[in-house]
Amino acid sequence: MPVDAHAALAEEEALLERVRTALGSAHTRRARATGPSRETLQTLREDAASAREEDAAPLLHELAVQHQLGGRAPAPLPDPASPYVAHLAIREGGRRRDYLLGHATFVDAEADVWVVDWRFAPVAQLFYRYREGDPFEESFPGREASGVIEVRRVVVIHRGRLLQVLGEGFQARRSPDGSWAIGGSDSLAAGGAGTAPRAGHLGLGVGAEERGTRADVTALLDADQYAAVRAPADEPLVVLGSAGSGKTTVALHRLARLAAAEPERVPLSRARVVVPEEGLSRLAARLLAPLGGGAARVQTLDAAFLELGRRVFGPLPRIVDDPPALVTAVKRHPALYDALRLRLGNRRGSGAPSWKRLRRELAVPLTDRGFLDGVVQRARGSLPRTVVEETVRHTMRQLADPASRFLASITDETRKEAVDGRPVDEGTEDALAGTLDLEDLPLLLALAAWRGQLSLPAASHLVLDEAEDFSLFDLETLARLLRGTRSVTVAGDEAQQTSPSFAGWDRVLDTLGAAGAARVRLPVSYRCPRPIAELARAILGPLAPAQPARAAREGAPVGRFSFPGEPQAHLFLAGALRELLESEPHAAVAVICHDPGTARRLAAVLAELPASRLVLDGRFTFEPGLDVTDVDSVKGLEWDYVVVPDAVESAWPLSDDGRRRLHVAVTRASWQLWLVSPGTPTRLLSGDPPAASGR
């Protein structure tokens, strides 16, 4: 064991013991206290008055805690099982002070214990902005500070035990037998059976390890991410970056910090997080909870608009959640937004909006072939001509009278059913009569907004993640949640758009009422190792951003396998995945197909594998094992291993849409990627794949 690592570990062990002892005493004092003593309050006031600025904030916090002890609930103490996530030591004016960054504040000046909340403490910014050994000069409230960063370490404490230390130039992990395994700064990139999960701090791939046994993502924010997190509440912010650059992490940390720093201005009960897919919704809620943001409402776009539609219009008819893809595409397209705004947006409404009345108005252009032809022309090739007839036909079916109206005179209910007991129109085109598409709700709400009839409860802060998949109709409605505020965080990546709904960031911000928002582009991709990041950029081709993201680490090469057809490919995958899951039982593995049908076929083949799950609705468990899914379900998520089992031309064609969708699939991998081609490999993958030879 190197001497510097040995000394660092001894220091961290002693520091943890000191903190746990002080916390134990504090818990005992709180349990016995019926209220603050006059002597306690006087001592804290005197200490705060004479303290340095960076020391005063924790003392004032403790003073507030003591004031609350007279029957009101005190602020929580750090959890003794995991009291802090990082260690910062600074030397200023010949004096060293150790600060411990966590999710709560605790000060015991007599024991020299200073646990500070990363969201509030001015000194926390030194941890994120500087490296070990760097001199610093910073302006703190009321004074200028200068000195040297002596120690900067990320620590993992679980059940009161130090498990991992990530220092400058070394990393140490405690083995099950209690000994320490020491490696260099690149040791996290090392492979080997049983080591997954190795990267990815979003919460997937936790495997059989308990939560809390890996480095807290809060301690891993880089300087660019931390600067974005600290953006003021009244400043709209756009966070851009490649897959795995931390956009979701930044957006959620910003919300948590604002809610903690300004609870009256940004109450969590009125904060909203809206994302396109169920999987990302579940992940966002999972990430917010340990940040203290669990009270914020996290919803998918579909869930949000169902809620808003019922709030504005009252009871709604049956909602169709799987309309024809072309109809969905045109209803989310910027060209339709512009055409409808020109045709219907200059009328004023009166009284409460009615979905029936607005639907009748909307039906006129949606059944007008000339109008829809104009929309297709404005779309400039992103909508096919066939969308016109498809939209007219679908809309006419929905406008028709439902079968129940014609059968109303029949009193014998059994005569209204088919021989199998189902309604006579179930499974037929007549079943669409009297329905609305999910995509109709943003259109109807946008019409109400244009007419001044849309009143929605104000959000204290709004987070829109994967915002490249939001339509202008979505944004027109969501803008009404920002009534009287510009407190919004928009996160996205134009390279990952998977539908033609994206109109560019300028249009997004204008429609949202956040024009002029500050923009931050995160330059480092932390999820994907270099081989995957380079392949992902090559897949995007002409769609790739001018400035490539920097990969944070090296990694295993991409596995390429080619077979004559699906039978051989599926046989190979069944064996290779079984071997992988047996050798790495803690790993999270995803098989990402281009469509649900392929996923279902492959799931049947892999059903006998340990912890094999077919997930097509975004309801991921985030547990170790194998998820078989489709590309539309995985945006914003990550796994240790990703397999694309259908890397063929028919599944991922050489088109802008094919490029973006395959890019999304491959960038879900945080450790290794396998590409399996059962047939002619897609032209999006350059070069000849090696012959299949197992893992």
The answer to whether the beta carbons of residues 561 and 675 sit under 8 Å apart is yes
**Secondary element (H or E) of residue 533:** helix 530-540
* Res 339 pLDDT > 60: yes
Q: Using one digit for the tens of pLDDT, what is the confidence trace for 625-657?
A: 999 999 999 999 999 999 999 999 999 999 999
CA distance 643 to 645: 6
- CATH architecture of the domain covering 530-678: 3-Layer(aba) Sandwich (3.40)
Task: Work out the average pLDDT over 403-415.
Answer: 60
Q: Is it the case that residue 70 has pLDDT exceeding 50?
A: no
Class of the CATH domain delimited by 219-399+438-524: alpha beta
**Structural contact between residues 466 and 280, judged by C-beta atoms closer than 8 angstroms:** yes
What pLDDT is attached to residue 68? Answer: 45
Spatial separation of the C-alpha atoms in residues 189 and 531, rounded to whole Å: 13
d(C-alpha 241, C-alpha 251), whole Å? 12
Residue 418 confidence (pLDDT): 56
Which tops the pLDDT comparison, 331 or 184?
331
Cβ–Cβ under 8 Å, residues 92 and 135:
no
Kind of pairing between the strands at 488-492 and 612-614:
unpaired
What is the per-residue pLDDT across 74-93, written as a single tens digit (0 to 9) for each? 678 999 999 999 999 999 98
CA distances from 459 to 284, 330, 391, 486 (A): 18, 29, 34, 10
In which band, very low, low, confident or very high, does the pLDDT at 534 lie, cut at 50, 70 and 90? Answer: very high
CA 51/CA 130 separation, integer angstroms: 24
Residue 67's pLDDT is 52
What integer pLDDT is reported at residue 327 of this predicted model?
Answer: 96
Mean pLDDT score, 239-252: 93
Cβ-count burial 339-366 (b if 16+ within 10 Å, e if not): bbbeebbeeebeeebbbeebbeebeebb
pLDDT of residue 214: 72
CB 496 within 8 A of CB 663: yes
With CA atoms as reference, report the closest residue to 652 among 593, 603, 600: 593
Work out the percent of the chain whose per-residue pLDDT is above 90.
63
Would you say residue 204 has pLDDT above 50? no
Who has greater pLDDT, 253 or 171?
Answer: 253
Q: What is the pLDDT of residue 76?
A: 84
pLDDT at 273 over 80: yes
> Which of 15, 61, 12, 63 has its CA nearest to residue 36?
63
- Asked if residues 287 and 203 have their Cβ atoms less than 8 Å apart, the reply is yes
Report the pLDDT averaged over residues 234-261. 94
493 or 70, greater pLDDT: 493
Banded model confidence at residue 183, pLDDT cuts 50, 70, 90: confident
pLDDT of residue 4: 85
User: Where is average pLDDT lowest: 399-413, 466-480, 605-619?
Assistant: 399-413
User: Considering the chain, what is the average pLDDT of its residues?
Assistant: 86
Check residue 2 and give its pLDDT.
Answer: 54
Question: Comparing C-alpha atoms, which of 642, 634, 598 is closest to residue 617?
Answer: 634
Domain ranges of the chain: 3-185, 219-399+438-524, 530-678
Query: Residue 408's pLDDT is what?
Result: 57
Cα(226)–Cα(221) distance, integer angstroms: 6
CB-based contact 548:537 (threshold 8 Å): yes
pLDDT at position 295 over 90: yes
Instruction: Choose among 683, 624, 676: nearest CA to 650.
Output: 683
Confidence class for position 71, pLDDT limits 50, 70, 90:
very low
- Domain 219-399+438-524 and domain 530-678, same fold? Reply is yes
Question: Beta strand pairing status for 588-593 and 639-644?
Answer: parallel
- Residue 649 is classified by DSSP as T
Q: Torsion-angle region of residue 313: left (phi > 0), alpha (psi -120 to 50) or beta?
A: alpha
Report the pLDDT value the prediction gives residue 504, as an integer from 0 to 100: 94
Ramachandran region of residue 562, left (φ > 0), alpha (ψ -120 to 50) or beta? Answer: beta
- 285, 326 contact by CB (below 8 A): no
Does the pLDDT value for residue 530 go beyond 60? yes
Token look-up 């012959």 returns: 691
* Whole-number pLDDT of residue 267: 94
Return the exposure string of 420-452: e unless at least 16 CB atoms fall within 10 Å of the residue's CB, then b: eeebebeeeebbbbbbbbbbbbbbbbbbbbbbe
